[in-house]
A and B are shown apart, each in its own frame.
Chain A
Amino acid sequence: MNSFSYTRADDVATALREVAADGAAKFIAGGTNLIDLMKENVERPSRLIDITRLTLGGIRPRSDGGLRLGALATNTDVAYHKEIERRYPLLSKAILAGASPQLRNMATVGGNLLQRTRCCYFYDTATPCNKRTPGVGCSAIAGFNRAHAILGTSAACIASHPSDMCVALAALEAVVRVTGSVGERVVPFAAFHRLPGDTPNIDTNLQADEIITGVDLPARGFAEHHAYLKIRDRASYAFALVSVAAALEMDGNTITEARLALGGVAHKPWRDPQTETMLHGQSATRENFKRVAEALLRDAKGFGRNRFKIELAKLAIVRALSQASFKEAHS
């Protein structure tokens, strides 16, 4: 790790002031991704501002019937919280599909939203990477790209977003609460992460002088009909090749609402709400699931080694929807 200075912030205003004073400063909370990247020399902050003592933890009910996850609530806090298990089991299962107990004990809600891609070229400072150094080129497009994106890619970057938790949050239509020098704002989950475009170095729409304070879950948790399916090379210690968060509202065998979010296939958790409406009013049949899967992947593009993901994603969608359509999900 490079040398850096360290300060501990006791309140949000101090944290924001500290980060604004130094363009190369970063916040540190759980550190499970940042320390990793610093050891690889991918991240070289001049200053770390420790935010772990801010009062941004906890999980609280909201007046609209939803829940607020504090930005510093750990993955363990969220995954095993009784109300999350009961009302938002999709979220609990997605979190437990990733990392390890030790990492989940450290990793926070806010940090999970800000974790960076596991693209091997992003991590390898000896190779060109537009996400690390804008303008130098992408090594993955013609390289080892088995884990890379097939949707929403650009000529500059085909990195995929690694989070499981964020895939569930996208399906649940969570809202990210941030605060900064110009005050508080809320960001719909779909607008939080970015596609790579010409600026793959910018992962999210969080501004440099802002901090995530929490994530709000709407009242509806799709507890009856949901599935989180994660397909990977090994049953543990592997990021998703494809993951699917499926959430359904059903009246008998008729789907009245469908949400589908995909992980491992794009620079952000992938949603296509327009296509999801194809399922509204339809019965829960394999044929209907296949139709929506085909439609969701219609614009998918492979890059050699990751071409198999297009078919894999379709099959995973059909399986996840089938699981979700049963009252007791088997994910």
Chain B
Amino acid sequence: MKRIITLTVNGEPVEGAVEPNRTLLSFLREDLGLTGAKHGCGLGDCGACTVILDGKPVNSCLVLAVQADGREVLTIEGLADNGKLHPIQEAFIETGAIQCGFCSPGMILSAKALLDESPKPTETEIRTAISGNLCRCTGYQKIVEAILAAAGTAQGKEVS
């Protein structure tokens, strides 16, 4: 039986009717048309489905939509401000941290959650924060540099 849920998505109140076995990822993508969060492994491994739930990055493929009732969700679509990209998004473009783009929404949201808590993170903290997001293109170095750049800290170093 469907249940009515009300939640805040990207600052806007949203209401939906969902079967209990729908995931938050499926609700966002299919009911709200917010396709920024990607369906990757579906098992909580790859991080492509990462959204920020009540301030914390989570795998939306492992969250039931009914469990998000009354809570606040931020997806990649909510990051730009009146068409102006978020500084982390800009840094990803500038640094060449985006290639195929499949991991980018989740990666950027993991970075956002980190910078919200720790505005000047170390490289180690950055690597820990994105350790739940798999990228098959970049080798991660450009992503780390982008997050360092967005934080206004020193450029990352190449790792041998």
Write the residues of chain A forming the contact surface with B, with a CB cutoff of 8 angstroms. 1-6, 8, 28, 31-32, 35-36, 38-39, 48, 50, 52, 76, 99-103, 105-106, 236-237
Q: Is the interface of A mostly helix, strand, loop or mixed?
A: mixed
Q: How far is the CA of A32 from the CA of B69 in the complex (A)?
A: 18
Contact (Cβ within 8 A) A4 B67: no
Contact (Cβ within 8 A) B131 A31: no
Q: Distance (Å) between the CB of A233 and the closest chain B CB? A: 15
List, in ascending order, chain B residues with CB within 8 A of A6's CB.
3, 20, 64, 66
Contact (Cβ within 8 A) A101 B67: no
Q: In the complex, which of the residues B19, B21, B62 contacts A36, with contact meaning CB atoms closer than 8 Å? A: B62
Contact (Cβ within 8 A) B42 A102: no
Q: How far is the CA of A31 from the CA of B25 in the complex (A)?
A: 14
Contact (Cβ within 8 A) B67 A102: no
Closest to A52 in B: B67
List, in ascending order, chain B residues with CB within 8 A of A4's CB.
20-21
Given contacts A100-B45, A106-B59, 12 further A-B contacts (CB under 8 A): A6-B20, A31-B63, A35-B62, A35-B64, A38-B21, A39-B43, A48-B64, A52-B67, A100-B132, A101-B110, A101-B128, A105-B53
Given A6-B3, A50-B66, A106-B62, verify A39-B42 contact (CB < 8 Å): yes
Q: Distance (Å) between the CB of A10 and the closest chain B CB? A: 13
Does any Cβ of A come within 8 Å of B100's Cβ? no
Enumerate 13 A-B pairs (CB-CB under 8 Å) in ascending A order.
A2-B21, A5-B20, A6-B64, A31-B64, A32-B62, A35-B23, A35-B62, A100-B44, A100-B131, A101-B131, A102-B58, A102-B59, A103-B62
List, in ascending order, chain A residues with CB within 8 A of B3's CB.
6
Q: In the complex, which of the residues B20, B21, B64, B110 contacts A102, with contact meaning CB atoms closer than 8 Å? A: B110
List, in ascending order, chain A residues with CB within 8 A of B62's CB.
31-32, 35-36, 103, 106
Closest to B50 in A: A102
Q: In the complex, which of the residues A50, A99, A105, A237 contacts B57, with contact meaning CB atoms closer than 8 Å? A: A105
List, in ascending order, chain A residues with CB within 8 A of B45's CB.
100, 237
Given A31-B67, A76-B56, verify A101-B21 contact (CB < 8 Å): no
